[in-house]
Amino acid sequence: MKAQQQKVSATTNRTVWRLDSSHSSVEFTVKKLFFLTVTGRITDLEGTIVLDENSIDGSSANSTLRVKSIDTGNKQRDAQLKASSFFDVAKYPEIEFESSEVGPGRDRDMLSISGVLTIKDISKEIQLDVTEVDRSKAPGGGEVIYYVAMTNLNRYDFGVSGWRGLIGGTVKVVINVQANREGIED
C-alpha cells in the first residue's frame, strides 16, 4: 500500500504546461558582413512542458516552430530565408525540439536542457541554458510559468547554408516562454 501511495504521489507532482504562443517567441541574431547584426523571430510555435515538482530530472519539454512565421522586419529577407538555400519552408515547414535530459543549471534559478533539434530533417543534440523567470497567477486565475532559454547554433550543421561568407555561421537563439498550467500528467 505504501509503495502504491508513493507512486500516486510521484505521479501527481508532474504538472503539464502548454506554451502560450501569443506570449512566447523564438528570437535569433546572426552577424552579417562581419559587423552588422540581423535579428529576427519565429512567432508561430507550440509546445508542452512536463514539470516534475519532486525531481527536475523527471521533467521534459518539446516544441514545434512553424518557419513560415519568420520575421526579420524585412519582407524580402524573410522570403529569402524561407527559400531552399536557407530553411526551404515548402519542403520543411517545421522545426522540432524534443528534450532528452533536464537537470540543474549553473545557478539555483537555472536549468540545463539537452535535446534533439531537427531542422530540414537534420537532427542534432543541443544544449539549452534555461532561466526560470517567474511562476505566478494570471489575471484569470490560472497558473503561469515564464522561462528564458539560450543557445548558440551553427546553421551549417542543419543545412541552412545560404550566403556563406556574407552571413555568419553562428546563430544566437533566445527563447521566451510563457506556459499555462493544464493539469497533472496521467
User: pLDDT tens digits, residue range 20-68?
Assistant: 999 999 999 999 876 789 999 999 999 999 999 899 999 999 999 999 9
What residue numbers bound the domain in which 104 lies?
A: 2-184
Its sign, for the CA torsion 156, 96, 56, 111, is positive
Cell numbers placing 118: 531537427
The per-residue pLDDT for range 104-128, each reduced to its tens digit, is 999 988 999 999 999 999 999 999 9
Residue with cell 536542457: 113
Long-range contacts of 132-136 (CB under 8 A, 24+ apart): none
pTM score of the predicted model: 0.89
User: For 164, which DSSP code?
Assistant: B
**Count: domains in the chain:** 1
Extract the C-alpha cell encoding 122.
Answer: 537534420
Backbone angles phi, psi at 67, to 5 degrees: -65, -25
Domain CATH for 137: 2.40.128.110
- 130-163 pLDDT tens trace: 999 999 998 888 999 999 999 999 999 999 998 8
